[in-house]
Structure 1
């Protein structure tokens, strides 16, 4: 039996890795297309795109981990059942509860992976991602060095440049300043340069024209200039440090002081309880997903018409339990004492698994009893 446990566990882990890799690749490509368009469109480099993609992977993996766990359990159980390996094991006296042990170990390993992601890696990645987004949002130079597009680096400001040389010279510059409701100013210049001035940044325009329109009397005045300095530092206000948020905190901090965490994040105790216990419930649900995939196919047994019906039932059951989790957060937000209901989907799934294993155990006992009588 120990050799069979190792054999089945190895099959589960191998297929779990395969399904995880495929699902992560599919979801990542869908997200990477949008991320690439947004970052490269804002003038960022490919290294920034890779950094943002890497920081988003932990959260993406938490999405596909229960699906990969369920798929691996279903595939391995179906293959062992088709090749009569489960039948041989039960004919030796092994009960469905005993055969479920390697699946339970596999579910525990998946749950530990989910716990590591939910409690440590995802909050840390979210914190670092928010900090990098804050840094990039303050980088005015990268926004302006995008040629051929009308950009809005700040409220009421529109910027355009036709061409950007390799040495940073901007050609055919257009700048519209509408921040003052009393007047609107449009600057056009043949060339321009971005110059760092201490902590600020200035746009030096050469050989251009300034047009000023006053709203009070609708009078337009123009002035040519040889060179003109425009301070672009106020276009993006520095945001300072990233505001503490619950998704940015690791679980060890959430366990210490709920009132203090709620005060720091400007939330309530219900939000803190929901964030912490939802992470734990996410791991327990991953364990239940593996057991549901195994138990449903075990109850169905062997059929020459295939096991598509059992797979569909198990999948719909998993979707129904997962759909419950979204509706259970609101009561916890309103009353912190309601946090145990977050574990309701996992508890229901566990009871369903126990009922199916009990049913499978009784069915096989009756089968062997009939054979002995015959």
Structure 2
């Protein structure tokens, strides 16, 4: 690699880091607002919020990494063109194919980063996130022990605590259970305690009353009790039997035992094939978008008016590749034998970039065609 190639590659990497930081920050803020409201509203601490935020970062980076690579490719190429560095290199005999070497190296580096994300970091973070979500779902304190707020731990259930003492005593408890459409029950207690018995959790209410309304006969019956035990295990352990997120399944497991995954987790062969090949395709598409960003701007050459038309064309091509990825996804989901379609956006992107580089290597022919058209009009 020549000194010029190293210089351009360093510019790509610097701008890539800058754009990645900006895009991740924008996406993270939008995600963090929802996450903060959900976790803090459920009584979680700030440390849990930061932990969940860190676990969602690999997925955010996966989404923004191709866009950051494309933006860096377009920005650096535009700056090299506006400062006439590309023009000087072409004047010294460097062909567009030679000038594309830093862009290709940059695309391979971003593809390696994306591979680490999709094959290692993302499955590990998704798996850990699932475990933490399950732990919080089983955490009685997080779901029920929030004073001064009406909570809804399950559909048709409302829970309220006026005050919680330091020793764990619950004062003035209200519990409404309307899960049975035939009857509605309201429990109130002056005091209550949470007791765990193995996998079961019980709410012990003291000095209270139970009001039972039969919705069929519209009959209300009340019962005063000195102490009453209410099993709340069903309100807490609701997600113990859920299947794994497909993104948390390791790549080697997807390759070696798809039939076992289908049997245990219920995913179809099309879903598994799309997820597996999409992990490789996401890495390869980084090479395509960087080459498109470079080759499209190289078509414009030097101009005092800039290369905004070429930049707009490059952005349209980026959107086209993303739309194409969505189009080929459905056939793969329906039939796993169509998995080669997953790589179609990458192949199309590389073909377009190769075509643009071929056109850029023949500027005289393009200029001759542009000059012959007005001449023909004057002759007529």
TM above 0.5, one fold?
Answer: yes
Aligned-residue CA RMSD (Å):
2.1
Query: CA-to-partner distance for each residue in 1:215-274, whole Å, 9 max, x for gaps?
Result: 454332323344433332232335446524432212122222333333333233222221
Relative to structure 1, is the Cα distance of residues 147 and 322 closer, same or farther in structure 2, using a 3 angstrom cutoff? same
Relative to structure 1, is the Cα distance of residues 234 and 270 closer, same or farther in structure 2, using a 3 angstrom cutoff? closer
Query: CA-to-partner distance for each residue in 1:35-85, whole Å, 9 max, x for gaps?
Result: 111111111111111111111111111100010000101111111111111
The question of whether the paired residues in 1 share the 8 Å contact of 2:126 and 2:245 is answered with no
Aligned to 1:143: 143
Relative to structure 1, is the Cα distance of residues 276 and 199 closer, same or farther in structure 2, using a 3 angstrom cutoff? closer
Distance (whole Å) between structure 2 residues aligned to residue 273 and residue 138 of structure 1: 33
> Secondary structure of 2:116's match?
helix
Distance (whole Å) between structure 2 residues aligned to residue 134 and residue 21 of structure 1: 31
The question of whether the paired residues in 2 share the 8 Å contact of 1:5 and 1:102 is answered with yes
Distance (whole Å) between structure 1 residues aligned to residue 281 and residue 84 of structure 2: 35
Aligned to 1:115: 115
Structure 2: 5+ residue stretches without partners: 368-380
Aligned to 1:154: 154
Relative to structure 1, is the Cα distance of residues 226 and 279 closer, same or farther in structure 2, using a 3 angstrom cutoff? same
The TM-score, its normalising length taken from structure 1, stands at 0.91
The question of whether the paired residues in 2 share the 8 Å contact of 1:73 and 1:293 is answered with yes
**How much does 1:190 deviate?**
3.1
> What is the 5 A alignment of 1:31-42?
31-42=31-42
Could you tell which deviates more after superposition, 151-160 or 52-61?
151-160
**How much does 1:123 deviate?**
1.6
Distance (whole Å) between structure 2 residues aligned to residue 336 and residue 216 of structure 1: 52
**How much does 1:320 deviate?**
0.8
Aligned to 2:370: none
Distance (whole Å) between structure 2 residues aligned to residue 105 and residue 330 of structure 1: 32
> Secondary structure of 2:127's match?
helix
Aligned to 2:325: 325
The question of whether the paired residues in 2 share the 8 Å contact of 1:62 and 1:118 is answered with yes
Query: CA-to-partner distance for each residue in 1:61-120, whole Å, 9 max, x for gaps?
Result: 110001000010111111111111111111111111101101100000001111111122
The question of whether the paired residues in 2 share the 8 Å contact of 1:41 and 1:146 is answered with no
> What is the 5 A alignment of 1:198-347?
198-215=198-215, 217-237=217-237, 239-240=239-240, 243-347=243-347
**How much does 1:167 deviate?**
4.2
The question of whether the paired residues in 1 share the 8 Å contact of 2:137 and 2:237 is answered with no
Alignment length (residue pairs): 367
Could you tell which deviates more after superposition, 255-264 or 281-290?
255-264
Could you tell which deviates more after superposition, 220-229 or 42-51?
220-229
Relative to structure 1, is the Cα distance of residues 213 and 116 closer, same or farther in structure 2, using a 3 angstrom cutoff? same
Structure 1: 5+ residue stretches without partners: 368-374
**How much does 1:278 deviate?**
1.3
Distance (whole Å) between structure 2 residues aligned to residue 170 and residue 260 of structure 1: 47
Relative to structure 1, is the Cα distance of residues 359 and 220 closer, same or farther in structure 2, using a 3 angstrom cutoff? same
Distance (whole Å) between structure 2 residues aligned to residue 358 and residue 198 of structure 1: 71
Distance (whole Å) between structure 1 residues aligned to residue 211 and residue 90 of structure 2: 88
The TM-score, its normalising length taken from structure 2, stands at 0.90
Could you tell which deviates more after superposition, 54-63 or 140-149?
140-149
Aligned to 1:370: none
> Secondary structure of 1:158's match?
strand
The question of whether the paired residues in 2 share the 8 Å contact of 1:187 and 1:209 is answered with yes
Distance (whole Å) between structure 2 residues aligned to residue 236 and residue 212 of structure 1: 23
